[in-house]
Structure 1
Amino acid sequence: MKIKHILLSTVLLPSVMAFSQQHGGMWIPTELNEKEMKEMGMKISAKQIFDATKPSIKDAVVQFDGGCTAEIISPKGLLLTNHHCGYDDIQKHSTLENDLLTNGFWAKNMSEELPNPGVTVDFIVDIKEVTTQILGNTAGLTPQQAEDVIKNNIEVVSKSFTTLPGQKVVIRPVYYGHKYYAYIIDTFTDIRMVGAPPSAIGKFGSDTDNWVFPRHTGDFMIYRVYADRNNRPAEFSPNNVPYKPKHFLPISIKDKKEGDFTFVFGFPGRTQQYLPSIAVEKIVTEIDPAMIAVREVTLKELDQKMREDNATRIKYASKFARIANAWKKWQGEIEGLEKSDAVSKKKAYEQKLASQNPAVKTTIDEFNRLYTAQAPYALNRAYYGEVVRNAETLTLASNYLSFMTAVESGKMDSQTAENFRDRLSGFYKDYDGELDAKVTAKVLALYAKKTPENFLPPGFKNEYSDENKNLFTIENWSKNSVISGRGTMNGATVYNDINKVFADRNALVQNLKNDPLIKLFASLREAYMKNTNDQYNTYQTQIDELQKTYMGQQMSTDKDKTFFPDANSTLRVTYGKVAGSNPKDALYYGYQTTLSGVMEKYIPGDYEFDVPQKLIDLYNKKDYGMYANKNGEVPVNFTATNHTTGGNSGSPALDANGNLIGLNFDRQWEGTMSDINFDPRFSRNIMVDSKYILFIIDKYADAKWLINEMKIVK
């Protein structure tokens, strides 16, 4: 059956299977496989993609707010990224009276663009390999001694670069510390929101369609980067002017066809392509299922209240999306790893390496011993981390406990206290204590039931296994708790006057010491620190050291394989072809969806599949302008074989000539395991078509003034 499945894929996708990367790849842009890229259809040179001495495509690609990617699309600093990357900002600007999440936002001119304090955009100025300088004087040292020397070398090398104001140097390891690279970065901080479609477009399909194809989501929004009069980074000021980029991306609205060359340029977050089989097995059978279970309980409770209450929907929109994103991704990851037989393939590869290099067998045997010994601690770590992360009551308790410790140790100065209050103000703005009491009650019951007694506080399993009893207890405690937002200090709650609550730090600390919610969290943390934390970390340190050894063994033994470094949130290029897929027997996904598919999914008034009336009118009139394809349809999303991951959200998808043809925003469900095991049969990245982006800006938003800024390739 497996052979037949592979043959079917070959028959359906001959050009893709023949020319796509068979092992994926996220390549450092100074070390591109230019020959292979040109063989696959690229028309430009590697220098046009990355050149530190003159303008190149890299000057238009930025890291957005530390976690996504974005790109400059006009000579006046217009910035394109995903709707989900800017979702927090849309939410912060939304109120019940002015609900931008529902209605969208489009500035009519630059004076209407909205500032977003704290948002950053990083441009890569240059990349330098510094391996020799960083690893100098480490030969023959113990791992701990080497770590100390490397840390010092990084500090020295970082300071050796001459930087401008607003510029920094970041040094990152790759290949588990076998190489090091320095990144010279310009950071801009005056970033203003220009346009965002309503969630019914930008988030169409919401959680049901997340991580799946066919997809019909207009997941994009627009910002503008501002600079000082010298075109350098500057804090927000009315005197700032639009940033003038060294390069901006022309936008192509040419029709796409299967087999077209594409490349994606961005900041992928984290991959683990070189793990041993035992590590992947633990992810599939233990770690992912544990994290999924906690989030499933959380999401069910949030979803019910968000559907019933509009204020809650706005408060929890961004948090819900974050929680659901990983929850669904992990499920697809398990399915993909099992379907692609990843564990067996890794075992076969390990045997092949061991036959060429006997030292590999010793390494694999040691991996098996370490991961097996670490397993119970790793599982408890997964549950504990998710419980504290998803039960906001416990998150708050953790923060207040840190505050108490800092005050009592004399480390809470005025500035630190002010920063803490500011963070809390933002947190409580989007917090519902009654709703979270229900979430907390349920995740605590799950934790009590799933965790062996020796990992829990004394009596916890007996006391907290019943979610109804938990809710009764937590509700009672919350009525008098400052951290829940319901208890008072100096006649105020954190909701109505946070400054009054914090007016007397010592009195607040005494109040918090008696808070049962803090005592509950403290007992959980104490048990975790005593029974799990050190034990897990001791094994992990040994595993990390062994992983570096194994990485070196793979690279020195397998001479036929071209290795690329795992993603680590630094600038990378991945390339492939526009392609549909054959994920299951007799099931084939075409490579492109259209506006007609949006209307097929349309459910009036639905939380996920409603469609704005104006978009319906445009569809009915077929008022598509120049954005229709040769079949008279507006393309919405398309897939290709580029190897992407988290952090690639918002990355530009570029054609053979370096023109923007789409905006990366997701991966196909069957290929979400590509962080660990890229399989060209299933691994597809999903992009918003450039035609749909421009169609929404032009026809839906009537924002032709933005279209006029761009360079459109017809």
Structure 2
Amino acid sequence: MKIFRLLFIFLSLPLFAQQGGMWIPSLLEGMNEAEMTNLGMKMTAQDIYNLNNASLKDAVPHFNGGCTSEVISKQGLLLTNHHCGYSQIQSHSSLEHDYLENGFWAMSLKEELPNPGVTASFMVRIEDVTTQVMNGITEAMTEADKQIKIEENIANVVQSSPKEAWQENRVRTFYEGNQYMLFVVETYKDIRLVGAPPSSIGKFGSDTDNWIWPRHTGDFSLFRIYADKNNRPAEYSEDNVPYTPKHFLPISLDGVAEDDFTLVFGYPGTTDEYLPSVAIEQVINTINPARIAIRDAALAIQDKYMRADPQIKIQYASKFARIANYWKKWKGETLGLTKSNAVGIKKQQESALTSQINKKGKQQEYGQILPQFEKYYTEIESYALAREYYLETVLRNVELLRTAYQAYQLKQVYDNRGAQSFEDRRNNMVERLEGQYKDYSKQVDEEVFEALIALYAKGVPQQFLPDSFKNMNAQQLTDKVYKNSAFVDYASVKNLLEGDAETVIAKLNSDPGFQVVKDMADAYFEKVAPKYEELELNISGLERDYMKALLELSPKDARIFPNANSTLRVTYGKVAGYSPADAIYYEPVTHLEGVMQKYVPGDYEFDVPQKLLELYKAKDYGQYGENGKMPINFIGTNHTTGGNSGSPAIDAYGNLIGLNFDRVWEGTMSDYYYDPALSRNIMVDIRYVLFIVDKYAGAKNLIDELMLVHPKKEKRKSKNRKK
């Protein structure tokens, strides 16, 4: 009886947990639609995803491949987070026109700013292609042979599936390789900046408040999609016109209250909800501590210089935010996994599953999965640790090393593909680096290099270190590199890369910065990567079989959702507060009063613009306030992750009530384990967005584009009419 109870808890979660999960929008009819209706939704599944008619999916594009956005007007006006548009806002900023500091507002279409390379991609159609992708796969094949055949089948599906000339076919895997779906996508490439509040609003609280509740951040920015005269995707052109959407989101002015239904639509990046307990233990005890230590060091140095120098603050604003984001997330993730006893709960679930395998006589098929997980995760730990140190040091946090690594790849291109490929890659690299060095400080990077190279030499298992790193003096190596390497400024790098392939490679081999990267990369690719990839392939095969066992042995009504993989998903829940610790309860809505309580004049993170102070003092909130207060942020039980930044928060009727931008610190472990008591997503109240656009910026041209509605008031009027 005890075993059955555990399995039931594991595979058929209680009613409150209906608010977790990331669901495929084309498969909502049935269980999901019933759950959403139970939670208060007044729409149908067809209103959310409809192949033949306009639906919510047509208003929710993937923003630049990393965030989500929503179309909010019939002229293609696009809303996303301030931090999603941060790089574009920064790229248009200078000391003379500092849009990060002062904000930017286009008062006409002519004032909107182009952003080369930025995209907005709409999902047109979803289709299950599992049968085609798995054609020819047999149990007798090795994991490597299975992957080769699967990739071949995917290529055939992508090539043969119908689409329009301007569209693209993509196939993505679900349930760890047990299901494959085709996505038909169309991508718009002319995306212009329309509006952004100053960072003191859009990034209020900055890194101190990141992942924290209560929150008071106006994290939004506005763009516009442009299309050719046929409303189809086109590269930037002055002849392009605002995009006419199939659907755009009306905006509710009625606000939110505890227990209101919320639907978040977007492109969550990556989750691993079905990792075994041994993997979660490795994240808590080995992987996250290494990541956090490296970023601790890098961020402390960057922060010191940013606070002292306004130019460096502009140069490093976007980089610092990117590094700090996951640094703090990993800290909260470890805290949440520990607090929620995720490892212990997963061990109970695994014990229950083992008993069910034995009961069903499935030992030969599934009986070795959990012991094999234990074996492979034990083997991979030292390789995974070395890999994290390499990625964090070379590719993510030391700019000189990252640039030198691009040169290392350039040499590989020549060795493997010849001179013409070298020329093409080199020319692209030289062009790309010009913009990169615009935001580079040798002084900052040198100090980061010294700190991180010392951590690398100490933290990487000794058997994986380059010979040159054994008994290495970090200060001496740093002095040598930053005094003599060409990678410390653009002109030197450009000169370094001039000449034919053999000349460039000879110069590279003599550069001390390149020599460091070459030693690190050679050691990594010879000693770490091959074995890591071999073990990871075996683990992936086990994960597929583990998921197959869960799907096969679960009750028919079990709520087993696929992990996030940057495809369009629906997550639903309710506005709800939570209790992070004993005797503490957080209300679900914050107000402008909280900004003023945190206000520190002149502070890097908590300054407040004078205009906002005046509006607050006068209580001049227009139609956007409620009971004399200005709502700012609210939280809900929606299951979100990276990639959901900018996702629309939609009410029971299909109207926009906010946009997602973060999670609470205690709930960041939801990428591995969703706990309904702690997991909360953080959203900007759409009324605060409108208040800033209208009352603060005076951009009434943008307000006039929108469809503003009062669904709750209309519902009450309808009831009164019936009486």
TM-score past 0.5 threshold: yes
Give the letter aligned to residue 67 of structure 2. C
Secondary structure at 1:563 match in 2: coil
Instruction: Write out aligned runs for 1:590-605 (5 A).
Output: 590-605=587-602
1:383 Cα offset (Å)? 1.5
Say whether residues 1:98 and 2:104 are aligned partners.
Answer: no
Counterpart for residue 3 of structure 2: none
Counterpart for residue 714 of structure 2: none
| Alignment partner of 2:551 out of 555, 579, 583 | 555
Deviation track 1:498-539 (CA, whole Å, cap 9, x = no partner) reads 479625554333222101111111111222223221121121
Secondary structure at 1:214 match in 2: coil
427-436 or 234-243, which deviates more: 427-436
Percent of pairs identical after alignment?
A: 51
| Alignment partner of 2:660 out of 660, 664, 674 | 664
Give the letter aligned to residue 552 of structure 1. K
Secondary structure at 1:21 match in 2: helix
Query: Does the 8 Å contact 1:50/1:58 carry over to 2?
Result: yes
Say whether residues 1:619 and 2:628 are aligned partners.
Answer: no
Counterpart for residue 172 of structure 1: 172
Secondary structure at 1:319 match in 2: helix
1:198 Cα offset (Å)? 0.3
Counterpart for residue 8 of structure 1: none
1:232 Cα offset (Å)? 0.5
Separation in structure 1 between the aligned mates of residue 625 and residue 531 of structure 2, nearest angstrom: 59
Counterpart for residue 190 of structure 1: 190
Separation in structure 2 between the aligned mates of residue 333 and residue 247 of structure 1, nearest angstrom: 37
Separation in structure 1 between the aligned mates of residue 15 and residue 410 of structure 2, nearest angstrom: 56
Instruction: Write out aligned runs for 1:76-475 (5 A).
Output: 76-142=75-141, 143-358=143-358, 359=363, 360-388=366-394, 389-407=396-414, 409-458=418-467, 460-464=469-473, 470-475=474-479
1:62 Cα offset (Å)? 0.5
Separation in structure 1 between the aligned mates of residue 378 and residue 497 of structure 2, nearest angstrom: 48
Structure-2 change in CA distance of 1:602 and 1:202 (3 Å): same
Secondary structure at 1:222 match in 2: strand
Counterpart for residue 580 of structure 2: 583
Query: Does the 8 Å contact 1:23/1:679 carry over to 2?
Result: no
Query: Does the 8 Å contact 1:64/1:70 carry over to 2?
Result: yes
| Alignment partner of 1:510 out of 500, 506, 509 | 506
Separation in structure 1 between the aligned mates of residue 507 and residue 654 of structure 2, nearest angstrom: 61
Counterpart for residue 5 of structure 2: none
Secondary structure at 1:658 match in 2: coil
Secondary structure at 1:192 match in 2: strand
Separation in structure 2 between the aligned mates of residue 56 and residue 117 of structure 1, nearest angstrom: 29
Structure-2 change in CA distance of 1:148 and 1:18 (3 Å): closer
Separation in structure 1 between the aligned mates of residue 147 and residue 242 of structure 2, nearest angstrom: 43
Say whether residues 1:482 and 2:450 are aligned partners.
Answer: no
Structure-2 change in CA distance of 1:363 and 1:505 (3 Å): closer
Counterpart for residue 10 of structure 2: none
Query: Does the 8 Å contact 1:83/1:221 carry over to 2?
Result: yes
Structure-2 change in CA distance of 1:61 and 1:303 (3 Å): same
CA RMSD after TM alignment: 1.6
Counterpart for residue 39 of structure 2: 40
Deviation track 1:45-92 (CA, whole Å, cap 9, x = no partner) reads 100101010111110001000000000000000000000001000110
476-485 or 187-196, which deviates more: 476-485
426-435 or 539-548, which deviates more: 426-435
| Alignment partner of 1:635 out of 631, 655, 658 | 631
Say whether residues 1:700 and 2:696 are aligned partners.
Answer: yes
Deviation track 1:296-337 (CA, whole Å, cap 9, x = no partner) reads 100001000011111111111101000000000000000000
Separation in structure 2 between the aligned mates of residue 277 and residue 405 of structure 1, nearest angstrom: 39
Deviation track 1:256-278 (CA, whole Å, cap 9, x = no partner) reads 11001111000000010111110
Secondary structure at 2:487 match in 1: coil
Give the letter aligned to residue 453 of structure 2. L
Structure-2 change in CA distance of 1:195 and 1:369 (3 Å): same
1:483 Cα offset (Å)? 1.4
Structure-2 change in CA distance of 1:23 and 1:42 (3 Å): closer
Query: Does the 8 Å contact 1:263/1:642 carry over to 2?
Result: yes
Query: Does the 8 Å contact 1:29/1:573 carry over to 2?
Result: yes
TM-score (norm 1): 0.94
Counterpart for residue 492 of structure 2: 493
Deviation track 1:440-473 (CA, whole Å, cap 9, x = no partner) reads 1100111112233222122524113xxxxx2443
Query: Does the 8 Å contact 2:19/2:572 carry over to 1?
Result: no
Counterpart for residue 6 of structure 1: none
Query: Does the 8 Å contact 1:78/1:222 carry over to 2?
Result: yes
The list of structure 1 runs, each at least 4 consecutive aligned residues, that deviate by more than 6 angstroms after superposition, is none
Deviation track 1:469-493 (CA, whole Å, cap 9, x = no partner) reads x24432333233211228xxxxx53
Separation in structure 2 between the aligned mates of residue 147 and residue 18 of structure 1, nearest angstrom: 37
Deviation track 1:661-697 (CA, whole Å, cap 9, x = no partner) reads 0000000001000000000000000000011000000
Query: Does the 8 Å contact 1:21/1:576 carry over to 2?
Result: no
Query: Does the 8 Å contact 2:356/2:553 carry over to 1?
Result: yes
Give the letter aligned to residue 607 of structure 2. D
Say whether residues 1:523 and 2:519 are aligned partners.
Answer: yes
1:24 Cα offset (Å)? 1.5
Deviation track 1:410-463 (CA, whole Å, cap 9, x = no partner) reads 243543332111221121111112211110110011111223322212252411
Give the letter aligned to residue 186 of structure 1. E
Give the letter aligned to residue 228 of structure 2. D
| Alignment partner of 1:690 out of 657, 677, 686 | 686
Separation in structure 2 between the aligned mates of residue 145 and residue 527 of structure 1, nearest angstrom: 28
Secondary structure at 1:34 match in 2: helix
Separation in structure 2 between the aligned mates of residue 669 and residue 366 of structure 1, nearest angstrom: 33
Query: Does the 8 Å contact 1:20/1:641 carry over to 2?
Result: no
Secondary structure at 1:356 match in 2: helix
Counterpart for residue 14 of structure 1: none
396-405 or 472-481, which deviates more: 472-481
1:407 Cα offset (Å)? 4.2
Query: Does the 8 Å contact 2:496/2:504 carry over to 1?
Result: no
Separation in structure 1 between the aligned mates of residue 537 and residue 74 of structure 2, nearest angstrom: 48
1:611 Cα offset (Å)? 0.3
Separation in structure 1 between the aligned mates of residue 284 and residue 420 of structure 2, nearest angstrom: 43
Separation in structure 1 between the aligned mates of residue 481 and residue 338 of structure 2, nearest angstrom: 45
Give the letter aligned to residue 670 of structure 1. E
Separation in structure 2 between the aligned mates of residue 18 and residue 421 of structure 1, nearest angstrom: 57
TM-score (norm 2): 0.92
**Equivalent residues, number:** 684
| Alignment partner of 1:537 out of 518, 533, 549 | 533
Deviation track 1:157-176 (CA, whole Å, cap 9, x = no partner) reads 11222322321000001001
1:119 Cα offset (Å)? 0.2
Separation in structure 2 between the aligned mates of residue 59 and residue 704 of structure 1, nearest angstrom: 26
Deviation track 1:625-662 (CA, whole Å, cap 9, x = no partner) reads 00111x21110000000000000000000000010000
Query: Does the 8 Å contact 2:19/2:637 carry over to 1?
Result: no
Structure-2 change in CA distance of 1:704 and 1:20 (3 Å): farther
Query: Does the 8 Å contact 1:166/1:188 carry over to 2?
Result: no
